Amino acid sequence: MLRTDSEPALQASYDRLVDVVAAGAPGLLYVGNAMLPRHVVLILPGDGDRTLDVYDPGDGRVSHLRRDDFVGRRLALSAWDVP
């Protein structure tokens, strides 16, 4: 559960996600609002740039999710912002 985490905790969570996918395995990220998760996106295996590549099934595109957007709860993934 990340939605109530502090900024330092969200920074650590983002870094952990980057490390997990850097090993070659994909990950799942639930996104939503401040109350509930509403949507699931796929975090793709990384390419070493410390930015998450996210496949959003809501629009069928892969986008880059930067650390400051993750920490600032500005995900903009299928209109959901909170990790």
Predicted TM-score of the model (pTM): 0.86
Bigger pLDDT: 69 or 1? 69
User: Alpha-carbon distance 76 to 45, whole Å?
Assistant: 20
Q: Grade residue 5 by pLDDT with cuts at 50, 70 and 90.
A: confident
Identify the residue whose tokens are 């995900």: 75
Residues, the chain? 83
Region 54-78: mean pLDDT is: 94
Express each pLDDT in 36-50 by its tens digit.
889 999 999 977 788
Q: Bridge partners of 40?
A: 30
- 38 three-class SS: strand
User: Alpha-carbon distance 49 to 35, whole Å?
Assistant: 31
